[in-house]
Homo-oligomer: A and B are copies of this chain.
Amino acid sequence: MTKPLLQMALDATDLDTAFQSVSRVAEQLDVIEVGTILAFADGVNSVAKVREKYPNHIVVCDMKITDASAILTKLALDAGANWVTVSAAAHIETIRAAKKVADQHQGEIQIELYGHWTFEDARAWYDMGITQAIYHRSRDAELAGVSWTDDDLSKMQQLSDIGIELSITGGIVPADLYLFKQIKVKSFIAGRALASDEGVSIAEAFHREIAKFW
């Protein structure tokens, strides 16, 4: 299995704050995500600015596209994103249209797993060549104050078995990484933890755990 990447989500409502939060840990990151909040707050201009400042990182634009996928995918990739996210709730033909534009621009589509998606959906995404999805810790788990449920882990394993690499997010901490060692992990996504005063040491802890299990 390839080594999971470390991804930071920038979810500030302005670019200055976002840049401040990423600057200290940027060298420890593989992927920088322009979160939905920042993308709406400042438009795809935020993607262009992140690309300009970080030319060598993978940049994701977290649009959670649900419709108008060809235009939105092009908007994100033209601005400098490598990957763009599409909602699992989008119609299969909407997802196919996004994939086509991504292929034309050497970009990749990531499916955001929200709503009542099924494994049949996941196989259809994989069959059209989509190999990435984003798995969020369930809101129910979050609300119940538990970290990762057996149900989450079982769903991740099934997606992994289909062939889909997962980017995992939702209050994830380095000590949890061992839970996912059987799963095809594309990246671990953190936000506030990496933006904190302990950001650098937390990033280092992520990399230590990644090296241990992959």
Contact = CB atoms under 8 A, between A and B. Distances in A.
Interface in A12-57: 13, 35-37, 39-46
A154 to B, nearest CB: 19
A92 to B, nearest CB: 8
A80 to B, nearest CB: 14
Interface stretch (A62-70, A159-167, A176-184): A62-70
Interface residues on A, range: 35 or more
Interface in A44-98: 44-46, 63-64, 66-68, 71-72, 75-76, 87-91, 93-94
A89 B89 contact: yes
Given A44-B41, A115-B87, A115-B115, A66 B68 contact: no
